[in-house]
Chain A
Amino acid sequence: MTHLSFIAAASGDSSTSRLGAFFTHWLTQDALLVVALGGIATMLVRAARSERWQRAATRFRRDRTGIVALCVACLYIFIGALETFRVPVGGGDTRSLLDFAVAGIPDERSYSAPFGDHVITDTKPQPDPLKSDHHLLGTEALGKDVFVQTLKGCRTALIIGGFTSAIYIPLGALFGILAGYFRRWVDDIIQYVYGTLASIPEILLLISILFVLGPGLGSISIALGTTGWVGLCRLVRGETMRQSERQYVAAARALGQSHWNIITRHLLPNVMHLVLINFVLGFSGIVLTEAVLSYLGVGVPVGTASWGMMIDSGRGELSRDPVVWWNLTAAAVALFGLVLALNLLGDALRRAFDPKRG
């Protein structure tokens, strides 16, 4: 074994498995979920104290599209949370809350159509041995209920979107502010790094990172996060430059405030709205990218329900006879719903924060 494969073994296989074991433990996941939801809530509460956010909130409340979009997005988050929150059922197994909710739905042998009364198998249309008309949206190749799989896909989408945002937003915001505030060599270095990342065709970069890290929700998030911070960083950098030329920053500096104080007290609150809008719009982009990655064969791990995978398997299923369309359609509609809601929400937020340009 040469040194190269040693690196691969060290960085890829063993460490991810240990990390993976940690992340897949139900307690970790529950804790992470609580922390994430709590974190978002506290952030919103704290931000709500600022005047700008209060004004935006008043405006947002009058925006009907925005409210509807917010409700839809919350519904997705709720379903995703149901699937993420796991409780032990004894014997080392865990089940998600969603599993309890759909516990009565049996698996079939293979494909069955929505409300269909038979399973599509080889020999003959089987006259309803398992009451397949229970399946609202039919079943997929392995006989799993498509509706349940679609609901479970919410979690995958939200986890990828959430983890990725948790990686790229701090990175992008921090580097953007640093570059915009300190300028000079800090700016040069940061510009160099993102210039390099932005020059590589995004999809190739994503895929090579994914090849290194191996399949997994965490790897996808890391890959998307590494490539995704560039856009936000640019935006924040520009806004920081504009802000730091304002009087109040100069005044703060004259008063002898530390850099850290200036950044956290003055600059960060003033770019937060950009971050929020970018978060919402970027989230939809991430969900769409997952579908492309699945097409290229570097999607989520085996056994994880994901819309990208469902759409991808639709490529084969559409060329069967009879056509299996329900798997693709269900996933596409679910994905479309989430992305549309997020996009509309992002727009509404932009309007709320920046009425002139919205």
Chain B
Amino acid sequence: MFSYLVRRLLYAVPILLGVILLTFLLFRVVNTPEQAAIHAKGPKSTVAARAEWIREHGRDRPLTVQFAMHVKRMVTFDFEPSDQTKRSMGEIFLKGVGPSLCITLPGFIAGLFAALSLSLYQVFARNSAADRNLTILCVIMMSVPTVIYIIFGQAVLALELSWFPVSGFQWGGLGMLRFLLLPVGIMVIINLGYDARMFRAVFLEEIAQDYVRTALAKGLPVSRVLGRHVLKNGLIALITLTVGQLPKLIMGTLLIESFFGIPGIGNVMVQAIQTADEPVVLATAYLGALLYLAALILTDVLYAAADPRIRLS
């Protein structure tokens, strides 16, 4: 177990280096030193002041040296502050991670729950009209662009019906809940179609297994077999699948946080992307990759813990 963990961690190192190299190259090629200086010093700065900035930040040195400096910064978590707001990355993350989790975590869990219920129901009533209609409904839900969901939520639920505040965030209490309901709800809806379909496929595969047939033949009620065995065995596969989806999940939260004024990391990212704020984008890409790899390893470990047949060796 331990040696497996070490191996997995070691395996993550070259991947992380690859991530750093790729993002670094892409951004350094786009962002010429002059443009970076304009970003940092502002449009009214003089050319001399920009040249000074370029020199001070080592942007006139060979790429290899710059890359070495960059890797060192990344590995020691000593990120450059944002070009736009001068805030340090540490502060951006510490302040942003809470609000982001307030949206993603309930969204993720409620989404999982909703997708599970829907897919279990479909498996239950498989090949019936209800199953077919629900599948089509899922496809319909998948086919609507995210922005449309958000605009609909804000224009109808927040403005016309006055149910929710349209934008904003606060910490603590029931007050916080009312800010979260709409964005979390939209996040659930966005992913529901895709997830439910995927889960349904997994469960159908599971139900075709021998042990299920045996259990049913023994006379166990269907709901029991479904609820206990199929769900439990399917769940492991599902979690692996959903963790693999995490980098894609970020895309949805970007829009949601920006539209609903949630001061999370996604919101900062939208700003960073739109203003080509190089330090923020590079650091987010790196930290995103780091978190993703950690989540992958964690699921593998959980996988082994949940299923004694699997040995990590």
Contacts and interface: CB of A to CB of B under 8 A. Distances in A.
Interface in A1-22: 2-5, 7-8, 11-12
Given A335-B145, A343-B143, A199 B30 contact: no
Contacts of A12: 29
B63 A3 contact: yes
A199 B289 contact: yes
Contacts of A198: 244, 247, 292
Contacts of A197: 22
Given A199-B293, A205-B285, A311 B148 contact: yes
Interface stretch (A26-34, A46-54, A140-148, A290-298): A290-298
Contacts of A174: none
Contact of B143 (A8, A311, A336): A336
Contacts of B14: 192
A332 B270 contact: no
A311 B144 CA distance: 12
Interface string B9-39: 0000011101100110011111111100000
A167 B135 CA distance: 30
Nearest to B61: A2
B248 interface: yes
A295 B147 contact: yes
A199 B26 contact: no
A343 B244 CA distance: 21
A182 B59 CA distance: 43
Query: Chain A: interface residue count, which band?
Result: 35 or more
**B: interface residue count bin:** 35 or more
Interface string A303-324: 0000000011011001000000
Contacts of A357: 201, 204-205
Contacts of A211: 26-27, 30-31, 276
B139 A7 contact: no
Interface in B139-181: 139-140, 142-148, 151, 155
Contact of B145 (A200, A202, A311, A347): A311
A201 B18 contact: no
B32 A5 contact: yes
B284 interface: yes
A262 interface: no
B274 interface: yes
25 contacts: A4-B28, A5-B33, A12-B29, A196-B18, A199-B16, A199-B19, A200-B247, A200-B285, A200-B288, A201-B250, A201-B285, A202-B251, A203-B250, A204-B23, A208-B23, A211-B26, A288-B145, A292-B145, A292-B255, A295-B255, A296-B270, A339-B143, A343-B143, A344-B136, A357-B201
Interface of A: 2-5, 7-8, 11-12, 65, 192-193, 195-205, 207-209, 211-212, 284, 288, 291-292, 295-297, 311-312, 314-315, 318, 328, 332, 335-336, 339-340, 343-344, 347, 356-357
Interface of B: 14-16, 18-19, 22-23, 26-34, 59-60, 62-63, 135-136, 139-140, 142-148, 151, 155, 201, 204-205, 208, 244, 247-248, 250-251, 254-255, 269-270, 273-274, 276, 281, 284-285, 288-289, 292-293
Kindly list the 7 A-B residue pairs having the minimum CB-CB distance in the complex, ordered from nearest. A196-B18, A199-B289, A208-B26, A339-B143, A211-B30, A5-B32, A201-B288
